[in-house]
Chain A
Amino acid sequence: METIFTYLGYFFVALGAIFLFLGALGIYRMPDLYTRVQAGTKASTLGAMSLILGVAFLEPDWWIKLLIMILFIAFSNPLSSHAIARGSYKHNLKPFSKEQVDAYEEVEESKEEQK
């Protein structure tokens, strides 16, 4: 049964695949951990979301479960990337910055002094 929804579904699945690929490429090309977290977790939010949206078009019976999956990704993704970034900073991994802009440094230093 080929309808407009089938084509929309394929379109969104393909779009999602492209964004996921760009996320992977970003992980390979970026200079340090923080920028890699950015590329790896973010390009994949839109990638995963449009992939799931495409599946919802192809299999209309599943849309409630797929919607919950999208919401779950939207809630858990920022938490995990925040945890990775903050954890690496606590382990003294300095971010790569051409212009040496690092506002978080002073917070960590003041904590060190308190110890």
Chain B
Amino acid sequence: MKKKTQKWGRFLYTWLILMIVWYAYTVSLAPAELITGFVVTGLIAAFNFASFTHYGFSLFHPRRIYYIFQFSIVFLVALVKSNIQVAKIVLHPKLPVNPGIVKFKSSLKSDFAKMVLANTITLTPGTLTVDLIDDEFYIHWLNMTSHDEAGIYQDIAADFEKILIKIFDK
């Protein structure tokens, strides 16, 4: 029984998100637009919700929303900081890069959390996720500052992972 209700939750969640996107793009209250959006997004959600989300409305739990908010702040700060670092490297006359591909182990369990971590690492400049095999991340690093696994983990992922564990693995 629990599984069935969860399915409905995931379906409604997908429908809601798609409808928000539809109405955000059309920005009109004409009845024809509203009805078309309602039907079309419902159909798309019915066929695609299984691959769209594994969490459904549980993502809107207040504790999770708080941590998602905190994560966005940490991420934005890291994004701006590392963009300035890369800008400095590019403008430096000697181009002081020290690139290499490093790996570290993540302690995240769910696939979705790993994907979010990989994308976050890629979005912050200076680090680029080349591959993700089970729980090992292979990262191309523009300017290596540490060489042992613990230091690599500390420099690249620790800040993000602390919060992601709280969002997805509890």
Contact = CB atoms under 8 A, between A and B. Distances in A.
Interface of A: 19, 22, 25-26, 29-32, 34-35, 37-39, 42-43, 45-46, 64-65, 67-68, 74-75, 77-79, 81-82, 85-86, 89, 95-105, 107
A45 B87 CA distance: 12
Interface in B99-134: 99-103, 118-120, 122-126, 128-131, 133
Chain B interface category by residue count: 35 or more
Interface in B140-157: 140, 142, 144, 147
Contact of B125 (A30, A45, A95, A97): A45
B128 A43 contact: no
B86 A98 contact: no
Contacts of A85: 128, 130, 140
Given A82-B118, A85-B128, A95-B140, 19 more contacts: A26-B86, A32-B99, A34-B130, A35-B97, A43-B83, A43-B125, A65-B25, A82-B128, A85-B140, A86-B130, A95-B101, A97-B100, A98-B98, A101-B144, A101-B147, A103-B101, A103-B138, A104-B103, A107-B138
Nearest to A96: B99
Contacts of B30: none
Nearest to B129: A82
B128 A22 contact: no
Interface of B: 21, 24-25, 27, 79-80, 82-83, 86-87, 89-91, 95, 97-103, 118-120, 122-126, 128-131, 133, 138, 140, 142, 144, 147
Top 9 A-B pairs, shortest CB-CB distance: A101-B100, A42-B125, A78-B122, A103-B103, A78-B119, A46-B83, A97-B100, A26-B90, A64-B24
A91 B47 CA distance: 36
B75 to A, nearest CB: 9
B76 to A, nearest CB: 10
Nearest to A25: B90
B138 to A, nearest CB: 5
B83 to A, nearest CB: 4
Contacts of B144: 99, 101
A51 B9 CA distance: 37
Contacts of B122: 77-78, 81-82
Nearest to A35: B99
Contacts of B99: 31-32, 34-35, 95-98
